[in-house]
Amino acid sequence: MASVKKRRKGVVLELSPEEVALLQTLPAQLAPVIERGPPADAGTDPVRDRLFPRAYLDPTEEEAEHNWQDMVHSDLVAEKSAALAALAETLERVADADGDAKLTLDRAETEAWLSALNDARLALGVTLGITEEHDPSRLDPSDPGSQPFFVYDWLTMLQGTILEVVLQ
């Protein structure tokens, strides 16, 4: 299980080889979703709708929504892509570690991790149909179909732990 501590130099993560391997898959899985153009119509791509929520929910404000997307979408894509790149780059520092990997993140890297973990959680949560009623204690570890839910819960725990440590 990941260990997260705050030190003077930043946030220190200690990750198992399996955790590092899982995190290394995130940029390749999320980048294609993030880098596609803005959704043509709301509701046609639920994951993209969650990662890039509408600014105007009123259906009579389609022109305002279109203008908003034109103005901010490329910046949002750049920010999300940069966060994924930072996640990948920091993980490269521990890619060849034997046993648990220790990684120190500076402030900018920590913010990038929080952003990338959030996007991963949002995308996976939509894909799995996670709702507020999701109860990790009800998952059966022997059921292979539960694995993605365990990944979601682990990403949630990791993001929450990093955030708690940062806010100390």
Q: What is the mean pLDDT of the chain?
A: 89
Q: Which amino acid is at 150?
A: F
> What confidence score (pLDDT) does residue 109 get?
96
pLDDT digits (tens, 9 = 90+) for 53-88: 888 888 888 899 889 888 888 899 999 999 999 999
pTM exceeds 0.85: yes
**3-class state of residue 104 by DSSP:** strand
Give the DSSP letter of residue 137. Answer: G
**3-class state of residue 38 by DSSP:** coil
Return the minimum-mean-pLDDT range out of 11-25, 36-50, 115-129: 36-50
Q: Can you list the positions of beta strands (E) in the chain?
A: 3-7, 10-15, 101-105
Q: Is residue 33 a contact partner of residue 123, using CB atoms and an 8 Å limit?
A: yes
Alpha-carbon distance 132 to 118, whole Å? 16
> How sure is the predictor about 39, in pLDDT bands with cuts at 50, 70 and 90?
low
Query: Encoding tokens for residue 159?
Result: 């993001």
Q: Is the predicted pLDDT of residue 123 greater than 80, yes or no?
A: yes
> What confidence score (pLDDT) does residue 42 get?
64
Compute and round to an integer the Cα radius of gyration of the chain.
17
61-to-65, 101, 168 alpha-carbon distances in Å:
6, 49, 42
Q: Where do we find the tokens 């929910």?
A: 57
